[in-house]
Amino acid sequence: MGFMEYLRLAISSLYQNRLRSLLTLLGIVIGVASVITMVSIGEGARVEVVGELEGLGSTMIFIQPNYLDQDVMMGKPVAMSLEDVDLMKRSSPSLSYVSPQITARGIVKLGNREKRTTIVSTNDEIAWMQGLGMADGRFLSESDIRSRRTVLVLGWQLANELFEGESPVGRRVRVNDVACDVIGVMKRRGQRAFSGGMDSEDMYAYVPVTLARRAIGTERVQVVLAQARDVDSVRTAREEIEGFLRRRFGRDHKFRVESAESILESAKVIIGVLTAILGGIGSISLIVGGIGVMNIMLVTVTERTREIGIRKAIGARNSHILRQFVMEAVVLCLVGGVLGTLLGALGAHLVAALSPVPATVSPLAIVVAFASSSLVGLIFGVYPAYKAANLDPIQALRYE
């Protein structure tokens, strides 16, 4: 008895019990669809985060408190002064740019209208480093920093909310009661999928680092963004910074030096785990669907006991019966796999359309969903089929 024979037999049996087959199918469809959607979300997250990190450029280096250090976790303040940042730059010839980031919450006020947001006190090197474009005006310049000018650059959204369509450049606003002239508006950066509950960069206000004490009341630098001269000098630059930090703050300093690349690596690991967890959640519903298949196959076998008896009497071997019923379960699961893949792709597109996660259906997800749905068919179909195959022909023939 050939493969096509079993296939034909399976399809005709399933067709006989249309409603039941359809309902059983639904379990598999939902299971496969959720695996596809979940894995697609994970994949979308990976693409988003990797793209974002790669956008920072592979020569970026971040110096920030080591948040995994116990002292830092317990709230021990870790910061360097602006002099330290200057010293760092001078002692690291492999760095082309160094930009301190003094960040604090503050109020930006225009007349009676005020916005509470994130104030970033930095120098002229950050915009260049991050390749941030300007929508209007210009970014902070070296002379702004040197001359401690009371100037301000607005994030795109902050500018819109404060000025409501009027041109902000040249207007005067107050940053925590320091009057500043708006010299530029950043380009829109867009919503990010993983903002971590922080203000969008479109809501930031940037002031010269030399204005930090006046505008935001602190000169303690927690985060420094630096850039190596080229890709090949990233490692040397990191070593120079590490050496400087050790000389300046001692061997057990609490800073962490990371390059975009090393962050990318750990982000990939984290998202890999995330994808696995999401896929696992999807798999649970696939398993539930599989149990549904097993359940219905057991009912089918019981209902068709007499048929099995007849087939055995006229010469069907155990393996014939086994294959017949396994084929039914596998066909059920494969059809469910196809429909589930379509539904899952639809789900992924909906997620991509309605949320910032650019969920994409990868070929891998489809392969995984297909493999797992046929595996489910095999696993949950084998036991009922085995039961059918091992029925005693005499008792099966007597079954009413």
In the Cβ-directed half-sphere of 211, how many Cα atoms lie within 13 Å?
30
- The minimum distance between CB 2 and another protein, in angstroms, equals 9
Output the six-digit token pair for 42: 């994970």
- The minimum distance between CB 312 and another protein, in angstroms, equals 6
Question: Could you say which of 192, 220, 268, 320 contacts another protein (CB under 8 A)?
Answer: 320
- Asked if 326 contacts 10 with a C-beta cutoff of 8 angstroms, the reply is no
The per-residue b/e assignment along 218-257, b for 16 or more CB within 10 angstroms, e otherwise, is ebebbbbbbbbeeeebbeebbebbbebbeeeeeeebbbbb
Output the six-digit token pair for 210: 């030399």
Q: Does 89 bind another protein (CB under 8 A)?
A: no
Q: Does 317 bind another protein (CB under 8 A)?
A: yes
3-state helix, strand, coil in the chain (%, to 5): 60, 20, 25
Output the six-digit token pair for 139: 């970014």
How many chain residues interact with another protein (CB under 8 A)?
22
- Residue 254 or 312: the one with the smaller Cβ distance to another protein is 312
- Residue 5 or 265: the one with the smaller Cβ distance to another protein is 5
Question: Could you say which of 281, 291, 367, 394 contacts another protein (CB under 8 A)?
Answer: 394
- The minimum distance between CB 27 and another protein, in angstroms, equals 25
Touching another protein, residues 296-315 (CB under 8 A): 306-307, 309-315
- Residue 3 or 196: the one with the smaller Cβ distance to another protein is 3
- Asked if 97 contacts 85 with a C-beta cutoff of 8 angstroms, the reply is no
Q: At what angle do helices 363-389 and 18-55 cross, to 10 degrees?
A: 150
DSSP class of residue 69 equals S
Q: Does 379 bind another protein (CB under 8 A)?
A: no
- Residue 19 or 314: the one with the smaller Cβ distance to another protein is 314
- Residue 175 or 316: the one with the smaller Cβ distance to another protein is 316
- Residue 198 or 313: the one with the smaller Cβ distance to another protein is 313
Q: Does 57 bind another protein (CB under 8 A)?
A: no
- The minimum distance between CB 328 and another protein, in angstroms, equals 13
* 201 CA to centre of own chain: 19
Q: Cα torsion for 285, 287, 288, 291, to the nearest 10°? A: 160
- Residue 58 or 318: the one with the smaller Cβ distance to another protein is 318
Question: Could you say which of 319, 355, 364, 371 contacts another protein (CB under 8 A)?
Answer: 319
Q: Does 109 bind another protein (CB under 8 A)?
A: no
> What is the rounded distance in angstroms from the CA atom of residue 289 to the CA atom of residue 299?
15
Q: Does 284 bind another protein (CB under 8 A)?
A: no
> What is the rounded distance in angstroms from the CA atom of residue 391 to the CA atom of residue 388?
5
> What is the rounded distance in angstroms from the CA atom of residue 248 to the CA atom of residue 85?
11
Touching another protein, residues 9-28 (CB under 8 A): 12-13, 16
Binding mask 243-272 for another protein (x = CB under 8 A): ------------------------------
- The minimum distance between CB 316 and another protein, in angstroms, equals 5
Q: C-alpha angle with apex 162: 160 to 163, nearest 5 degrees?
A: 65
- Residue 383 or 399: the one with the smaller Cβ distance to another protein is 399
**In the complex, which residues of this chain contact another protein (CB under 8 A)?**
1, 5, 12-13, 16, 306-307, 309-320, 393-394, 397
